[in-house]
Copies of this chain bind each other. A is one copy, B any other.
Amino acid sequence: MQFESLETPALLLDQTRMARNIARLRERLAPMGVTLRPHVKTNKSADVTRELGGPAHPITVSTLKEAEYFLAHGWRDILYAVGVVPSKLPHIDRLVAGGARLSIVLDNVEAACAVAQYCQEHALFLPVLIEIDTDGHRSGVAPEDPLLLDIAAQLPGTPSSGAWLAGVMTHAGESYNCRSQAAIEACAEQERAGAVRAAARLREAGYEAPVVSVGSTPTAHFARSLEGVTEVRAGVYVFFDLVMHGLGVCALDDIALSVLCTVIGHQREKGWLITDAGWMAMSRDRGTSRQAVDQGYGLVCDVDGEPLGELIVADANQEHGVIRHRSDPQATPMLPIGTLLRILPNHACATGAQHDAYHVLRGPDHTVHARWPRLNGWGAL
């Protein structure tokens, strides 16, 4: 099947670009002595994740639905990387009973107490990572915070029973706001040093805490040292996107995801092309709006994936995209009604989630080799 026969909008995945992206990070990390634990929240697809190494490899998930889905497809070593709350423990327990080797994260005494009590009452073994805040971005305990040891003290498990303090994890979310490679390198070092310091404090206090888990796509690609780190998490690197391009992490022609759309109208006086890919197909993510080059709702390419000069999706309604030249609307070419275009997304995680499947291409030809379904939502499968 040629993608020209897809009903637009439709999500395209260039498998050749994806393979190159996957190989790039794998090869970068291989000599650094760390495990890569991909974050599958970006792709939410067993077919995509199989390309990362298959079910024998560890993964990171952002929801218990992802954990359940990947367990059903054979993955067992799964880190659920969003702070746990007591109400989710029965679902976690079912996944462990179903064969998952699930690890969880938390950053407070209340959750640690509840997890420990649940594990004791249900004879459940759960490795627990304490979330460390290395950049003030989101959740976590600062590396030097006394709270770190208070939380650890609530986790009485052993490496084979109960709620066991397996180590620490952190995410350098601020790396998305960097303006240079040097700034990303500095972020990466701050992420590494904070996590390693927190683990050292735990070890000084007598805990084994073998796991030091760090990661974000920018820091994974530019960290100069990963000394003391045991595993790296990243998700967007598989597809890349315009935000990563704006950060200097990838080239435009590394971006493996695009949204196929059709020109449905013109507003000639305003220099607008109207398409059928609005914010529902692109997502409302405007991540490049804070970067040096604002790509609107996406960068416009021809059917072969080549950028069409300076055309961007400048505005979007639910099912309408407004394409124009980024600085001179009168320079917008009035492409004929029915023209197919491919839009590179700001944020792969957000755009992917608007779709229920990937249409898989291999390089520049237009053949759809496969349709790979993807997961969305929460709760039980």
Contact = CB atoms under 8 A, between A and B. Distances in A.
Contacts of A264: 82-85, 111, 139
B337 A110 contact: yes
A122 interface: no
A349 interface: yes
Contacts of A318: 41, 62, 349
Contacts of A133: 267
Contacts of A380: 7
B317 A7 contact: no
A208 B64 CA distance: 57
Copies in the complex: 2
Interface in A1-39: 6-10
Contact of A7 (B270, B355, B378): B378
A175 to B, nearest CB: 13
B379 A265 contact: no
Given A64-B7, A319-B41, A378-B8, A87 B338 contact: yes
Contact of A83 (B88, B265, B356): B265
A121 B283 CA distance: 38
Interface stretch (A156-164, A274-282, A302-310): A274-282
A57 interface: no
Contacts of A262: 85, 87
| Residue from A6, A270, A274, A336 whose CB has the most chain B CB atoms within 10 Å | A274
| Residue from A173, A318, A350 whose CB has the most chain B CB atoms within 10 Å | A318
A286 B290 CA distance: 15
A333 to B, nearest CB: 15
Contacts of A266: 108
A111 B139 CA distance: 52
Contacts of A107: 265
Interface in A64-116: 64, 82-88, 91, 106-108, 110-111, 114
Contacts of A63: 319
A378 B319 CA distance: 10
A352 to B, nearest CB: 11
Contacts of A203: none
10 contacts: A7-B91, A41-B318, A85-B262, A85-B338, A107-B265, A110-B336, A138-B317, A138-B320, A280-B353, A356-B376
